[in-house]
Structure 1
Amino acid sequence: MTYKQDEYIKQYNHTAQIANTIRHSRYFLVSILIICLYIFSIYQIFYKSPSLYFNIWFIFTEVFVSLCWLISTVYFKPEQYSLIIAHRWLQFQCFSVGTLIASGIFLIFYYLPATNQSFEPIQALTLSALLLIVTQTFGLTYLTQKLNYFCLAFIPSIVPYLIAQFFFLDGSNHLFSLSINFGLIVILMCAMTSYRIHRRVSTLHAKNNLLVDSAKQQVKWTDELCQQLQDEVNKSRDIELQLQLGNQILEQKVKERTFDIEQMNKDLENQQANLVLAHEIAGLRPWDWNIKDRKIVVTNYKQEKTLRHSKEHQQQLQHVIHPDDIPHFKSAMIQHLRGFKDRYEATYRIQNSQGKWSWVHDIGRVIQRDPDNRKPLRMVGIRRDIHQERTSQERLKLAASVLEQAAEGIFILNEELCYIEVNPFYEQLTGFNYDQIIGKHLFDITANYKSIQRSMHYSIIKQVLKIGEYDGELHEKFLSGKELTLWMHINAITDDQNRVTHYIGIVSDLTERKLQEQRLSYLENYDTLTDLPNRFYYNYQLHQYLVSQQDSIKQLAVIRLNIDRFRPLNEYLSNNGGDELLRQVAQRLRLTNAEALFVAHLNGDDFAIVYEISHIRPSVQEHCERINKAFSIPFNIFGQDHVITLSMGVAFYPEHGRQLDYLNNCAEQALSEAKNLGGNTTRYYSNENTALLEQGIFLERDLRKAIQNNELVVYYQPKINFRDKNIYGFEALVRWNHPEKGLIPPGLFIPLAEQTSLISDIGRFVLQKTAQQIRFWNNLGYQNICVSVNIVAQQLRRGQLLNDLDEAIDANQIDGASLELEITESSLVENLDSVRELLNEIKKRKINISLDDFGTGYSSLSYLADFPIDILKIDRSFISKIGENKQLAIVSAMIAMGKAMGMTVVAEGIETEQQLQYLQDLECDIAQGYFFSKPLPQEEATVFLENNISSPAYTYLI
């Protein structure tokens, strides 16, 4: 047995000893009253001599013992007292009674013989022995649940006899003393034996409870394991089917992929042949240099590949490259190998087989480097014979055909950056003809009035003269009047000695492209329907205001607006009408917010305004009032006038936040509060909203964990039948036992759960626990107990209620008549046909249906006639006001109506005798409320059921 079991048994024994002693002590006190009355009566009948002290003892004893009995009966009711207080009370009671018995023995044995000559010592000894023996016998019968209670009554009682044996009794009474002593010892031994028997029985009962709980847990674990095993089997079947399907799909994919690979191989072979042919025709000679292994593969003019060692290849290049070109060749190669240039590119002369020098263009790139030290490992390239191209390069550069057919502006400048040639497209761009351009400097045909333009021209000329090229965008206004956005590329042309001889410029017109970019920017940042900035641009611009260092903007107000009831209005107007309404709303907002920094259309009917708070502008409240006043004028949509209202939420910078998202969230919270109030109002954000929101978020998070961790418990409030005062059943009520916050009232977490799917999970949990409890009570022999469970609208609409009911009934083998579903009137408002069909299906399972909180919601007599409702439950708000004339009439009418329709009428919230009597006079059927009992845990509910099922519950509780 574990330590926890020992502690449980010890606590159980202690509780049982006190509870049983409290119950038996009442009989003990009655016995004391009777024996004292019996002895007093004997003395008064046979020895009529009055005795003041004996009379006082008798009266005091009777009064004190009666008070003790009254306190034990009234105050120490079952399950309604503290164990510590009860323990102290029993100790006091036992000791006091023992003391009173000792006082009576003393008076009878010592005092009465001295005052009454006819009362002989042997008679006194007989009466006192009778008082002692009888009281100890009663103590042995009723006080041995705990030995110290018996000893507290036993020890004071025998003190007079113990004293008498040493001081008063003569030799003739020694035998009597020995007999009395022996009898007292026997009584004490019997008390010890009786105490051990009681303790052993209590221990066995506690162990039996532990075994029962353990057996239930084992059964539950077995069911869970069986369910898990079944789930695993089902999953294995599903996986097997998926694998079979996957194998079939994979086989098909492999076949398709194989066919694709074969086609790709054929294409690659064709491409390889084409590439070889292209290299052969173009005179390209590829090479592949394995720097790591010092091997190079080169291709000759016959496209034959040869593998050489790198050192051998370098020696050959030293002999075939022109001596003047070797430094340039080496420099280009080293710069690329060291990573200074993206690729290797060199033009040099080589000696052909006839001994003549021929120009070649060599291009290559490192395709593999060491990841640690970035050293080159492999390089590939192509060497091309450009001798013929080199010879005709000047002719090709000046070819008129290129200039005439070019779709971009092309110009040629001399070394002094003066025009020597332009093509027709460049003439078209500038607006000048050929003669007006030739001979002028590069920027002489543009306007240079502004210093910024002159500075930009100077930097371009300086860059071209310094590095020989320019590539960039510029906005130019020509003296001809044309203004364009251009992209200009200027590159220097050098001779064989690398001297600049000419400059070639290529100019592209970017004007149309810029217009396209502007249009795209508009589409990206503005809403095409309302022409207002969209959410993206709103967030960007508001962020700029928040991070701006301008001292002039110190306070901002973010106003979020929403059209009230826009969805039904949009459905009525159709899409075109809704769009037209949004356009007119945007236009009116634009006109009424001329002083605002920003007006945006975020989405749908959601708008936002950024308003600067300043002493020279109207206040935010005045500004919002002006908007509302402007929107009081109707909107004409396709010939019909429509009056709309706005809900507005306002958050302030920096009071409510300095970050974009936080400030937007604050405004949205204020807007939500305005819409929850019915719209057509303005709400300002308050920090209390954040606290409530966070509390709700944390509570929702803890509630989800509570469902997973079994922190929810079900309490049961009894229902009493007015006719026979017996228990009709219980109502199941959920409670949350939070591990840190303790017992959380349902009024705090049930509304939160109803906003999410958690209420369905909670309802399913309560239904299962209730079915288990009904099964438990049925096993105890209570077959006719009916327990009601509250069902919310969400459970009716989600479609899982019938499955949950069938699962609970089948799993616990209970009768459907043992369940009662309490449904509120608001649950019947939407989807009347589907709800009616669902309730009819529930009735087929013999489950009772109760209409809860009748008279407080969408009350309609059609519900009572159209739906299969068995029970009518009057809300506590009507019961609590019984005594008022109007309320009496309403309650009376409700009960009469329910009776007339053949329904059972339940009154909840009964707390007073007046309410109970009034409802009983009206022949109400079922009573429920704190007058009978508060909601009880399952153990206390079972005890309540055991104590009240066979006796009139009403009489007992009263």
Structure 2
Amino acid sequence: MSDIQDEYIKQHVSASQINNTVRLSRFFIVSILIVSAYVYGIYQFYFAKPSFYFNLWFIGTELLCCLCLLINSVYFKPDQFALAHAHRWLQVQNLVIGSCIASGMGLVYYYLPLYNPAFSHVHALILSALLLIVSQAFALTFLTQRLTYFCLAFIPAIFPYLTSQFINTETSDPLFHLTINFALIVILLCANITSRIHQRISSLYSKNNRLVENAKQQVLWTDELCKQLQAEINKSKDIELQLQLNNQLLEQKVKERTADIAKMNADLENQQQNLVLAHEIAGLRPWDWNIKDREILVTDSKQQKILKPSKLHHYQLQNIIHLDDIEQFKHAMKQHLRGQSPLYEASYRIQNSNGKWKWVHDIGRVIARDPVNKKPLRMVGIRRDIHQERTDQERLKLAASVLQQAAEGIFILDDQLCYIDVNPFYEQLTGFTHQHIIGKNLFDITANHKSQQRSSHYSILQQLEKIGEFDGELHEEFLSGKEQTIWMHINAITDEQNRVTHYIGIVSDLTERKLQEQRLSYLENYDPLTDLPNRFYYNYQLHQYLVSQQDSIKQLAVIRLNIDRFRPLNEFLTNSGGDELLRQVAQRLRLTNAEALFVAHLNGDDFAIVYEISPIHPSIQQHCEHISKAFSLPFNIFGQDHIITLSMGVAFYPENGRQLDYLNNCAEQALAEAKNLGGNTCRFYSNNNTALLEQGIYLERDLRHAINNNELIVYYQPKINFSDRNIYGFEALVRWNHPSKGIIPPNLFIPLAEQTSLISDIGRIVIQQTAKQIRYWNNIGFDNICVSVNVVAQQLQRGQLLEDLDHAIHTYNICGSSLELEITESSLLENSVTVKNLLNEIKKRKIHISLDDFGTGYSSLAYLADFPIDILKIDRSFVSKIGQNKQEAIVSAMIAMGKAMGMMVVAEGIETKQQLEYLQDLECDIAQGFLFSKPLPEKEATTYLEQHRLIPS
């Protein structure tokens, strides 16, 4: 019987696969029409050079697809074709479409790049990948009812791509092929899984149909039994007639049988009580409906019979029956009363006195009808409480559904640890079907050829016998060939006498979890971009070398490497190009440091190498030279060659330190020294730099405290008009009023501040204090004072300068023309467009802009023409050498150029009358220097301003 059923299911599944594929293949053909047109349209739109063969392919593909679609629609209408013909047609159709896709890929990938020079190999890769991936995605969607249909379209389509990996190996991109190969494998795996899912669904559907047919057969058998019961009832009526004939004989013996009858009555009463008890226990409530007299005899919950009008009873019954069940109840009752059904039977919910709903099963039959019109006269029946049965059935259905749908493997064993039931997930987990597992012992389906496995299995069986429970992780190799890491939990089920009757096991697949743990461990210790150890793993491994292996490693070197000018190169290459450069740098470091203990990627363009110094290894100098030589070869980034250089800093263990952090700091300091020398060099750490390093750290720490404690003050150096010797204004110069060291000049802390963000904080403080002082001078009558403030490149680029200026102007209510910003030439080098826009915004606030130290930096006349500069400031190095012919010529040219361009010219560093007179003869505008005054504190600057309103000639 099982073989017949399996054959039926197999035939049904096969027919279902063919029918569904015929229906879905139309959508697949339409999809191929669309994607072919899309690829053809992209080529025609972007590469307007028609190709005869490509046009021929497009027209042929469209015609073949339309022909296949027409044949599908005309000759393979639903339920109007032979399965064998449809099967052969689907094979031919999928093979033809796959061949069309393959020919299209061959044309795009091989022919078009040769035919059309504008159509590059990259374009060919993109269009061929688009045609392949999209077409196979549609094939995966519509052709996986049977795996062979999918493969007939899939294998020809990927043939040109597979051959391309072995033909054009020089021009092919390994990463592209690796990516597409992985995608194709995933598509094939998905097709296989999808095909199995479709097959299982079709199998389940056929089984359901089989169950429906069985249920119908059961109904037929039930009807047959009812007919037999009716026959028995008819026989009973015949017997009743015979009894009436014999009644006359019984009357003659009444007196003789009185005692017997009394005894029989007593027995009947006992049986009646037993029947009542049985009804009560079984929840049966008989009822007798006298339809003719419109009365009904019902039994209440106390097994007491109550006679009441049938109309009242029906009204009360309709009020307590659930609204969803009333129609079913009425329909069943009408069908039977009209003689359309041999038996009245209905299940419905009624509401009890507590307001709760419970299920009852009502069954009855008309036992008397009018002989003329066949109208019912009397009907009897029984109503039974089936609420608990329905609840139990629903719970059983739910439990069965959970068992089937659970995403964990579940099995049930008997008391001998043999399988009696398993769920589908456990079948999938083990690789065995249900029939191959049932009846076998717990570990009969696993490999036991290793002693360790046998010992583990024996230990589990012993634990189950002793405590009836096991919970643990196992690595099992099943006889089906599958190998899994699982977590198994088994519990014993006992009866009322605490005897084990069954075992229930739950199995979880830990394979994915193990893979995730390995992936997380990799991501924690390795950089995903370069596949090199990251900073965390580098520090851990270096610490192990320093601590755990001191006996084996006597001396090692820590090499810190940095790519020179990586930031502008990264901006030129964009992020993707920068990442590709880092990957290639990491690969070259890996190849050139085969003898190193460790190569790591710390962050950005920072790398580190741990190298053991040993007589059998080249010296550290030779090793670094080897690295530099390896990097003299260019890097090809997206078709362009780039030559990069490295800066390297080396620290030695144990000479430069024995602790991890100190050794890293030494290597970083050596690297910084190499960077300061212009890069492309290697520097070794020297202990002479320790004092400077510590001094810089302490100075930076104290400077941060100074900013927070308001220890920075502003001095003011006067500026004098050459024309009338009036005070034009001041230059604001910052000083550090150290609580213990006194006034610290700027040349000691400004260079350090420029290396950090502290210079921006200092600039903000100077602007605020200067605005405050201008407000004070305006209040005491000096309205036309202009004070200049030095601004560095960092302030221009951080984007905070405008906000600082606006805050100062609005806070102290001063005019923008009272401020002058002195900007060095080097500040204009980077981001010239951004700086130009920023200076234009500053000019909108009427703030003057002065070019400081002109002639000492990257002097360019383009600055004077392109940027909104008002004032040209000649550096003190030129003024101090007035008296030398060449220097005087330079100063004269500067002043003449500034005057010609309509700028005000300022000369700083004037210390002698000779310098003053020479500059005055050249009609310089503003003078500044120690000849007039040194930088003054706020109060002294105010006194100087009051005393020198006008300086006599």
TM (normalized to structure 1)?
0.48
Query: Which structure is larger by alpha-carbon Rg, 1 or 2?
Result: 1
TM (normalized to structure 2)?
0.48
